[in-house]
Amino acid sequence: MSVPRGAVHAKWIVGKVIGTKMQKTAKVRVTRLVLDPYLLKFFNKRKTYFAHDPLQQCVVGDIVLLKALPERRSKHVKHELAEIVFKVGKVIDPITGKPCAGTRFLENLSDSENLTEADTTYLSEKLQELKVCSTN
Amino acid sequence: MPMKGRFPVRRTLQYLSQGDVIFKSSVKAMTVNYNTAGERSEGARKFVFFNIPQIQYKNPWVQIMLFRNMTPSPFLRFYLDSGEQVLVDVEDKTNKEITEHIKKILGKSKETLEREERERKKLSHPGTFGPKKYHLRECMCEIEGQVPCPAFVPLPKEMRGKYKTSAKNEA
């Protein structure tokens, strides 16, 4: 029976980088939800994986996607870096594509810079109409 | 004595097994980004609170990760075996709508589930007796209308071996 990819069970995993002190290798912590048999509640269970990162582009705190290698690269390294999902400090919201920090966007979302003269005059006229004038 | 917690029904096996989202085998990891405040993320918060335990119970081999307050908009992201990623925007959606949506796009259909159920039934014959792990019943004495187990009700004299051999020796 051929094993096309992965001498390891986990083919694609998402984790957080906790160490980059090794050359071209990132230490990644992966959490999975495991059911406690008595409380019947899910808790995070951590496991650390080592991933091959040839360009050393990971920083501690990145969220990365790891892909299983077809065969083990060394005694502990069985995965490689597929993609950095969220770069620490430079998170990009995938829905809008804009950089954000926490629950707010970093740059102005409205396109007020691209408005032409005609647009601004039209908008100011509309605003004048909306102004409620007090009549005695 | 009531159970502890806000909605302790989430921690019952009956509630967990009521989850009907079973992912296809190509789904490997799921990521939920949501915010702890704000009403746009309300549906996502309810989804994480009520439905994530059901999904994880039914799909124990899918890695689920939760991220809080990283981006302004809430979304789900699925990582498939082929390297494909599925992004699901859940802003202004109730948790029921979210579960329906992911069941439709990435869940196993009812026909697939029924087919797998039938395959599993075919493996074991229901008419055999043996250990509970492999068979339905352990002994004929469990069935109504059959001779009851001699451990609880002694057999009539005519069925007992010592009576039968003594009758044969006499004759």
Mutate to test the interface with B, among A67, A88, A98, A103 (most CBs of B within 10 A): A103
Pick A93's closest partner by Cβ from B11, B29, B71: B71
Determine the average pLDDT of the residues in A117-135.
79
Measured between CA atoms, the residue of chain A closest to residue B4 is A39
Contact B101, B67 (CB under 8 A): no
Q: Which two tokens stand for residue B42?
A: 């309300």
Q: Is the pTM of the predicted complex or chain greater than 0.90?
A: no
Contact B55, A33 (CB under 8 A): no
Pick B65's closest partner by Cβ from A14, A40, A96: A14
Question: At residue B87, what are phi and psi to the nearest 5 degrees?
Answer: -105, 125
Contacts of A46 (CB under 8 A, 6+ apart): A29, A30, A31
Contact A33, A42 (CB under 8 A): yes
Q: Which of A14, A79, A49 is nearest to B29 (CA)?
A: A14
Mutate to test the interface with B, among A29, A42, A90 (most CBs of B within 10 A): A42
Chain B closest-CA separation from residue A6 CA (Å): 12
Q: Which of A94, A48, A60 is nearest to B33 (CA)?
A: A94
Determine the average pLDDT of the residues in A32-51.
95
Q: Write out pLDDT tens, residues B105-138.
A: 999 999 999 999 999 888 888 888 999 888 889 9
Mutate to test the interface with A, among B63, B67, B75, B93 (most CBs of A within 10 A): B63
Pick B72's closest partner by Cβ from A12, A42, A105: A105
Q: Write out pLDDT tens, residues B30-88.
A: 999 999 998 899 999 999 999 999 999 999 999 999 999 999 999 999 999 999 999 99
Contact of A94 with chain B, judged by CB distance below 8 Å, is answered with yes
- pLDDT at B89 (0 to 100): 93
- pLDDT at A5 (0 to 100): 59
Chain B closest-CA separation from residue A63 CA (Å): 10
Least confident among A42-51, A61-70, A111-120, B33-42: A111-120
Contact of A10 with chain B, judged by CB distance below 8 Å, is answered with yes
Contact A40 B16 (CB under 8 A): yes
In this prediction, does ipTM exceed 0.85?
A: no
Q: Residues of chain A with pLDDT > 90: what percent? A: 60
Chain B residues with CB inside 8 Å of A45's CB?
A: none
Helices assigned H by DSSP within A38-79 = none
* Residue whose pair of structure tokens reads 């594509």 in the numeric block: A97
Chain B residues with CB inside 8 Å of A32's CB?
A: 63-64
Distance of CA B68 to the CA centre of its chain: 28
Beta carbons within 10 angstroms of residue B6's beta carbon: 7
Chain A closest-CA separation from residue B121 CA (Å): 26
Q: Write out pLDDT tens, residues A55-103.
A: 999 999 999 999 999 999 999 999 999 999 999 999 999 998 899 998 8
Domain with CATH 3.40.30.10 in chain B: 8-109
What domains are there in chain A, each with its CATH number?
Answer: 12-88 (2.40.50.140)
Which residue type sits at B152? F
Is A121 in a helix, a strand, or coil? Answer: helix
Contacts of B23 (CB under 8 A, 6+ apart): B30, B55, B59, B62, B106, B107, B108
The architecture that CATH gives domain B8-109 is 3-Layer(aba) Sandwich (3.40)
Contact A95 B65 (CB under 8 A): no
